[in-house]
């Protein structure tokens, strides 16, 4: 009933990290291309603290997480005992805060040094089924809230750390009655919980799962559902109801897996690593399929963001570059320095969006990318780099780490300071 009421006035939802099944693809046919106050900026609200998670949207609600206390002020981080994470619920129409649920940290998180200073302690994106909202809050665990902000249950999923102590970041995934979590950082495991009770249904443990922040996806291959996951050196598929391994394949990304998987026509794609590697694996096999199901392996430069697929091509950004590759072959279609559309040739390479934390989104035949400094750019989804619109929030330079949510004719973007709603 709650889900039906919440959705009645809206055609779409963006209920998890990167939207429908983690694809990063919106069904919207029209979105604003220019983000000016009084024109397309419908509302902007200050949030109580920073966060690297992405907003999600269900019906008339927008959910996002942030943190306060430890690490919220980089110049004066404070002490780990002061860390509090928050799940925020906003009214989609006007940005008014509907409720805030705050959760104090129950275990000391990784120190606020090095890489963790870039994304903080609220980097996992929530997921919702329209009745409950689920969040992963590091070593405090996974929690479920109802649509009024009441905590329903919580389940601790380990208190380990990756070797570099970079913190957590993978997002929970819903499948049927299960809430599935890549807990490779805190628990060296992939875990499925009963979404109503939080009880463990199955758990697959492997020491190699550490250094993996990738969010799993569900792939349907000839009627068989596969939960496809990634960890350093490996891509593997589990039967989602039981956790039984279906197949595994070698991956060239052997150090740290930050990006999530994406897929098309039964083939999954993964890229990343310090050396810049990418691989495509055909799903549907059994056992070790490295020799039989590897479609291609290429030295494609990438970083933290996940590529998006449009019309048979992968699009993404990395260290100031706009990159596109062919899904069938892995061959680069283009790789060019990001620039504003009105820049003269050879100029402005460093002035456009240069970050790759947020993942690209495909909408209405265009690719939307957002940099850490808040520059956004739309490209035509074609076989050449074709920027057609560039925007910047005037008084907010970020960081912007979250991937945009695009539903109906609206775009939702979060920075460490604010949550924005843009509409046509």
The pLDDT value given to residue 38? 74
| Statement: residue 280 has pLDDT above 80 | yes
The kind and range of the H/E element at 183 are strand 178-183
Q: What per-residue confidence (pLDDT) applies to 101?
A: 98
Q: pLDDT tens digit string along 171-215? A: 999 999 999 999 999 999 999 999 999 999 999 999 999 999 999
* Mean pLDDT, range 26-45, rounded to an integer: 89
- Please report which confidence band the pLDDT of residue 230 belongs to, taking 50, 70 and 90 as the band edges: very high
- pLDDT of 354 reads 43
Q: Among 76-85, 184-193, 332-341, 352-361, whose mean pLDDT is lowest?
A: 352-361
Report DSSP letters for 107-148, one per residue. Answer: S----S-GGGGGTTT--SPPEE-SSEEEEE-GGG-EEEEETT
pLDDT of residue 319: 85
What are the CA-CA distances from residue 176 to residues 202, 243, 416 (Å)?
14, 14, 33
Q: What is the DSSP letter of 25?
A: B
CA 110 remoteness from chain centre: 21
Mean per-residue pLDDT of the chain = 92
Both tokens of 187, joined, read 């628990």
Q: If pLDDT is split at 50, 70 and 90, which confidence band does 39 have? A: confident
What does the pLDDT read at residue 270?
98
Q: What percent of the chain has pLDDT over 70?
A: 93
pLDDT in tens, 213-228: 999 999 999 999 999 9
Q: Is the pLDDT of residue 343 over 60?
A: no
Q: Which two tokens stand for residue 55?
A: 């907003």
pLDDT of residue 323: 96
Query: What was the pLDDT predicted at 281?
Result: 98
Question: pLDDT at residue 350 above 50?
Answer: no
Q: State percent of the chain over pLDDT 90.
A: 86
8 Å CB contact between 291 and 299: no
Residue whose token pair is 């799962």: 209
Cβ-Cβ contacts under 8 Å for 285 (sequence gap 6 or more): 246, 247, 249, 292, 293
For residue 138, is pLDDT > 80?
A: yes
Burial annotation 76-115 (CB, 10 A radius, 16+ → b, else e): ebeebeebbbbbbbbebeebeebeebebebeeebbebeee
């Amino acid at each position: 009933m709650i889900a039906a009421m919440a959705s009645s006035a809206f055609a779409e939802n963006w209920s998890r990290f990167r939207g429908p099944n983690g694809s990063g693809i919106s069904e919207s046919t029209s979105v604003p291309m220019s983000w000016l106050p009084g024109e397309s900026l419908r509302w902007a609200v200050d949030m109580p603290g920073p966060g690297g998670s992405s907003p999600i949207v269900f019906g008339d609600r927008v959910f996002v997480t942030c943190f306060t206390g430890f690490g919220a002020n980089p110049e004066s981080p404070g002490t780990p005992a002061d860390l509090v994470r928050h799940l925020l619920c906003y009214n989609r129409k006007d940005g008014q805060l509907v409720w805030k649920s705050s959760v104090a940290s129950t275990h000391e998180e990784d120190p606020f040094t090095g890489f963790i200073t870039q994304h903080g302690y609220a980097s996992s994106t929530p997921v919702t089924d329209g009745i409950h909202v689920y969040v992963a809050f590091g070593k405090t665990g996974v929690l479920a809230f109802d649509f009024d902000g009441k905590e329903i249950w919580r389940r601790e999923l380990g208190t380990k750390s990756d070797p570099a102590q970079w913190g957590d970041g993978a997002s929970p995934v819903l499948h049927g009655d299960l809430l599935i979590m890549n807990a490779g950082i805190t628990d060296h495991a992939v875990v499925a919980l009963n979404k109503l009770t939080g009880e463990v249904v199955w758990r697959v443990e492997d020491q190699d799962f550490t250094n993996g922040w990738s969010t799993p996806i569900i792939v349907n291959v000839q009627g068989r559902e596969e939960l496809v996951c990634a960890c350093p050196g490996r891509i593997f598929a589990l039967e989602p109801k039981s956790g039984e391994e279906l197949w595994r394949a070698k991956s060239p990304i052997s150090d740290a897996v930050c990006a999530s998987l994406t897929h098309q026509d039964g083939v999954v794609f993964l890229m990343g690593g310090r050396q810049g590697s990418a691989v495509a694996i055909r799903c549907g096999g059994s056992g070790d399929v490295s020799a039989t199901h590897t479609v291609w392996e290429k030295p494609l430069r990438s970083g933290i963001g996940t590529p998006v697929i449009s019309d048979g091509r992968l699009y993404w950004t990395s260290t100031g570059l706009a990159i596109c590759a062919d899904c069938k072959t892995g061959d680069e279609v283009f790789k060019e320095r990001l620039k504003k559309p009105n820049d003269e040739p050879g100029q402005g390479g460093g002035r456009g969006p240069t970050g790759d934390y947020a993942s690209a989104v495909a909408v209405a035949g265009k690719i939307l990318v957002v940099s850490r400094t808040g520059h956004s750019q739309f490209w035509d989804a074609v076989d050449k780099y074709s920027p057609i619109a560039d925007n910047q929030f005037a008084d907010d330079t970020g960081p912007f780490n979250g991937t945009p949510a695009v539903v109906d004719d609206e775009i939702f973007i979060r920075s460490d300071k604010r949550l924005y709603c843009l509409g046509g």
